[in-house]
Amino acid sequence: MDTIVSYLNNLFANLPKSERVLALKAQMQASMEDKYLALKAEGRSENEAIGSVISEFGNIDELMTELGLAADPQTSSLRPFSLQDARNYLAAARQTAILIGIGVFLCLLGAASLIWIGQLVDNGQLGRQLGESGRGALAMIPFFILIAAGVSLLVYSGMKLDRYKFLETGEFELAPAAKIELERQREAFQPSFGLGIMIGVSLCILSPLSLFLFSLFGEKQTGFGVPVLLVTVGIAVFFFIYFGAIKDAFNKLLKLEEYANKNKQETDKVIGIVAATVWPLAAATYLLLGFTRGMWGTAWIIFPILGIVFGVFSAIYTGIKKS
């Protein structure tokens, strides 16, 4: 009930405080509360009931026009952003998160296929009848196909959110109904976010087990554990990207956490440049050590070490920019 009252207070905040308006507000409150109680009696959850009520009574513009009422004029340079605009953006953000997650997974799968097929060729289990160049092509062809597919998805996903770039600057103003509804949805999303991150972290922790499991079958088989490690990490990264992107979308719309910081764009730019530099170098180093030194079973330590160092750098730099 408190959510409904708060929602109505925001909805009528800019309307004249006349008897006619106050009577309309009281009438809407009674109707919304009746609808809420009816939905609860049907077995709906708190969030479902409130969401349905707000969706049904969320727009009073037409009613205001019919009654000859209008909100007090507002002078604002911010771009208005309605509840429907917010819903469209969240839907686009979810689709984009899936595309990015799949794109990154395909890139890691490409690297995994390169190592897996290369290991089969080195062990003489594949491509015996082919020449040296033919055996090399066996590994490189699926690698380039998967990388091309992954990069294409990443590029396409970036294009889908181009029209929402203004949200990064915070130069928009949410409608009262949108803010109330988004706060409710964000609160309902928090348990899913926590579970998704927990699964991703667990997969990252368990991923090196593949190296030890394959090493039980002999030193030559250890290399097969690396592709399994990369695929496991790819699944974990998908969870991080998907749930992190949705949370980021809510924070962006509600201007919470890092989006309340005026230095956020500069911070993200620096961290993005560093990430775009060090992670490809780490991957290249790992592949180089694996192919030239056969260090597939030990060189993987580069990634957790770099992850810790990069995390510390990001935290320190973000903290400095916020201060």
Model pLDDT, residue 14:
65
Residue 216 has pLDDT above 70, yes or no: yes
Show the tokens assigned to 259. 């989006």
Rounded Cα distance, 72 and 13, in Å: 9
Give me the percent of the chain exceeding a pLDDT of 90.
12
Cβ atoms of 299 and 222 closer than 8 Å:
no
Residue 263 has pLDDT above 60, yes or no: no
Q: How confident is the model at residue 174 (pLDDT cuts 50, 70, 90)?
A: confident
Residue 202 has pLDDT above 80, yes or no: yes
What is the tens place of the pLDDT at every residue in 90-133?
999 999 999 999 998 998 888 888 878 877 776 666 666 666 55
What is the tens place of the pLDDT at every residue in 70-96?
544 444 567 888 888 888 999 999 999
Residue 161 has pLDDT above 80, yes or no: yes
Cβ atoms of 1 and 33 closer than 8 Å:
yes
In angstroms, how far is the first alpha carbon of the chain from the final one? 39
Q: How confident is the model at residue 144 (pLDDT cuts 50, 70, 90)?
A: confident
Indicate the range of 8-22, 49-63, 78-92, 137-151 predicted with least confidence: 49-63
79 phi, psi to nearest 5 deg: -75, 125
pLDDT top residue among 180 and 156 = 156
3-state helix, strand, coil in the chain (%, to 5): 80, 0, 20
Give me the percent of the chain exceeding a pLDDT of 70.
65
Model pLDDT, residue 298:
65
Residue 320 has pLDDT above 70, yes or no: no
Q: How many residues belong to the chain? A: 323
With residue 173 as reference, give the H or E element that holds it.
strand 172-174
Show the tokens assigned to 122. 């080195």
At a CB cut-off of 8 Å and minimum separation 6, what does 276 contact? none
Residue 18 has pLDDT above 80, yes or no: no
Rounded Cα distance, 243 and 59, in Å: 30
Highest averaged pLDDT of the listed ranges 71-85, 139-153, 299-313: 139-153
| Mean pLDDT computed over every residue of the chain | 76
Model pLDDT, residue 4:
74
Rounded Cα distance, 261 and 322, in Å: 7
Model pLDDT, residue 75:
46
Cβ atoms of 196 and 242 closer than 8 Å:
yes
Cβ neighbours around 16 below 10 Å, total: 12
- pTM for this prediction: 0.65
Q: How confident is the model at residue 185 (pLDDT cuts 50, 70, 90)?
A: confident
Cβ atoms of 84 and 58 closer than 8 Å:
no
pLDDT top residue among 67 and 285 = 285
